[in-house]
A = this chain, B = another copy of it.
Amino acid sequence: MLTWVDGHPQDAVPVADRGLQYGDGLFETVLIDRGQALAWDLHLARLRRGCRALRLPEPPIAALEADRDGLCALGPAQAVLKIILTAGGAGRGYARPQPPTWRRILSLAPAPEWPLAEYRDGIRVRWCRQLWFPDPALAGIKHLNRLTQVRARAEWDDPQIAEGLIRDADGSVVGGTMSNLFVVRDGALLTPGLRHCGVAGTMRARVMAAAAAQGLPVRETALSVMDCLQADELFVCNAVRGIRPIRQLGARSFAAGPVTRALQREIGPPWPAPGHGAGW
């Protein structure tokens, strides 16, 4: 793991950092493939939206890109880049220093093991008891206040369960703890709208664009537990692990279907699978 703080190799941040004190900041998890950051513009766009939502100035794009290039030049070709951008120094309690400062924290880790079976056959998923409560101003962005996901993820430790789905207080599914959910039904692609809560993943945007390009109707809509159980196909996605079919949700089994496969082909696997080459 290589870590830079404000452009310098360093793996610690001051205790006074507002990211630690209040979660006053944003993050992005970017897939690096052959040294290149994938979907960079989508990650930047979400950072920009996040800054507006947090009432922070525009993110320091040029510095972030210099950090990214510097780290990627040193790291493995297949890697995961995590960017944390905090509101920096202490301020007076909840009041930020004026003008606000930034702290850039970038970590480059080797690509995680990538189980081909998860990509091909799918993953097991559970329902979380933890609910996702609304905060419309923060909905969609990737801020550092992530206790909803942490608490949901703490509900299970069975390594066979790869993801948990979180609902809102009305019982509509919001998404997974670390991925967005898609339902295929009657030839249409459905995914939860994220106006009240949830994270608008970059892979979610890519999947929606790819589906539309394939002529598939795509709709953001409320999805109940029943909608999921009655789906023709079901998958989750995120920037690092790509599209993973759901093969089991609670007691119900699914097979990865043609829509999921077509989208996987269009988006591509996260990395060339070992022994399968780039042409998998």
A3 to B16, CA, bound (A): 10
Check A137–B151 contact: CB distance below 8 A.
yes
Q: Cβ of A153 < 8 Å from any Cβ of B?
A: yes
A243 to nearest B CB, angstroms? 18
Number of copies: 2
A177 to B20, CA, bound (A): 18
Interface residues of A in 131-162 (CB under 8 A from B): 133-135, 137-138, 143-154, 157
- A13 partner residues in chain B, CB cutoff 8 A: 12-13, 15, 20
Q: Cβ of A93 < 8 Å from any Cβ of B?
A: yes
Check A23–B54 contact: CB distance below 8 A.
no
A interface, CB within 8 angstroms of B: 3, 5, 11-24, 27, 54-55, 84, 86-87, 93-96, 98, 105, 107, 130, 133-135, 137-138, 143-154, 157, 177-178
Given contacts A11-B14, A133-B133, A133-B134, 6 further A-B contacts (CB under 8 A): A18-B150, A23-B23, A55-B151, A55-B154, A137-B151, A145-B145
